[in-house]
């Protein structure tokens, strides 16, 4: 369990940047948290402790802030790290998943040999908003035969309904902080 004091310290290190990347969006900037060694470590340790007995085979991190949290988490758990990236970034053969945004579509890719069938996977990203990004990642992992135990985030923006959207796909989420 996170203490109220630690929760307050996490929130204190997440900066609201209004109108980024476009008008009307309040961007939750985690870079102040990353600059604070004990808070950064506490965030990674908290998720690692939660999954100490989960027998995770791979942490799947979503580009790009999911890499920042996912790599130390994989190190702490003693498992592999698998990147999910924007199209054209991964060098070997990939599987691609397209998903809809408010306006238009986007896509994510994973290396087709990144996960052995039956792998136990923890997905990690910095923030859950509408849930589109993590849903596409879930689909990629499932297409490779992976079994996703949970998706962990630093932040959930609960008013955007991502939790309910991904629950319909059978995905549980675990955010450290909820707004
Ligand atoms: P979504 O697919 O709507 O759940 O959006 C989640 C993805 O977009 C994550 O990779 C986040 O890093 C990023 N994102 C969406 N909204 C925000 C926000 N308000 N602040 C920071 N990152 C965001």
Residue 165 lies in a domain: yes
- CATH code at position 91: 3.40.50.2020
Q: What is the pLDDT of residues 146-158, one digit of tens each?
A: 999 999 999 999 9
Residue 43 lies in a domain: no
Report how far residue 7's alpha carbon sits from residue 176's, in angstroms, rounded to the nearest whole number. 8
Which ligand 1 atom is at minimum distance from the Cα of 126? 12
37-50 vs 65-77: helix crossing angle, rounded to 10: 60
Residue 7 lies in a domain: no
Residue 38 lies in a domain: no
Q: Work out the average pLDDT over 36-50.
A: 98
Residue 151 lies in a domain: yes
Q: Would residue 65 show up in a list of annotated catalytic residues for this protein?
A: yes
* C-beta separation of 134 from 62 below 8 A: yes
pTM: 0.98
Residue 23 lies in a domain: no
Q: Would residue 5 show up in a list of annotated catalytic residues for this protein?
A: no
Q: What is the pLDDT of residues 65-89, one digit of tens each?
A: 999 999 999 999 999 999 999 999 9
- If we measure between CA atoms, which residue out of 110, 130, 140, 114 comes closest to residue 173? 130
Pocket perturbation via mutation, ligand 1, pick of 26, 27, 133, 159 by most ligand atoms within 8 A of CB: 133
Element (H, E) at 121: strand 120-128
Which ligand 1 atom is at minimum distance from the Cα of 26? 19
Mean pLDDT of the chain: 97
Residue 107 lies in a domain: yes
* C-beta separation of 60 from 123 below 8 A: yes
Residue 3 lies in a domain: no
> What's the total number of domains in the chain?
1
Q: What is the pLDDT of residues 95-104, one digit of tens each?
A: 999 999 877 8
Task: Check residue 143 and give its pLDDT.
Answer: 98
- Our CA angle for 58, 95, 139, nearest 5°, is 65
Burial class (CB in 10 A: 0-12, 13-18, 19+), 8: exposed
Greater pLDDT, 2 or 131: 131
Q: Which domain holds residue 102?
A: 54-178
Greater pLDDT, 135 or 102: 135
């Amino acid at each position: 369990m996170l203490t109220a004091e630690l929760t307050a310290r996490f929130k204190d290190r997440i900066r609201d940047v209004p109108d980024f990347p476009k008008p009307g969006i309040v961007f939750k900037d985690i870079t102040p948290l990353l600059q604070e060694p004990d808070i950064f470590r506490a965030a990674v340790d908290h998720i690692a402790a939660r999954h100490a007995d989960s027998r995770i085979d791979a942490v799947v991190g979503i580009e790009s802030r999911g890499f920042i949290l996912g790599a130390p988490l994989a190190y702490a758990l003693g498992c592999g790290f698998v990147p999910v990236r924007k199209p054209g970034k991964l060098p070997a053969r990939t599987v691609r998943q397209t998903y809809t945004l408010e306006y238009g579509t986007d896509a994510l890719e994973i290396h087709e040999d990144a996960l052995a069938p039956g792998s136990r996977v923890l997905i990690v990203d910095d923030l859950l908003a509408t849930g589109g990004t993590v849903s596409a990642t879930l689909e990629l992992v499932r297409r490779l035969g992976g079994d996703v135990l949970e998706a962990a985030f630093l932040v959930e923006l609960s008013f955007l309904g991502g939790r309910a959207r991904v629950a319909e796909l059978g995905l549980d989420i675990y955010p450290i902080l909820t707004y």
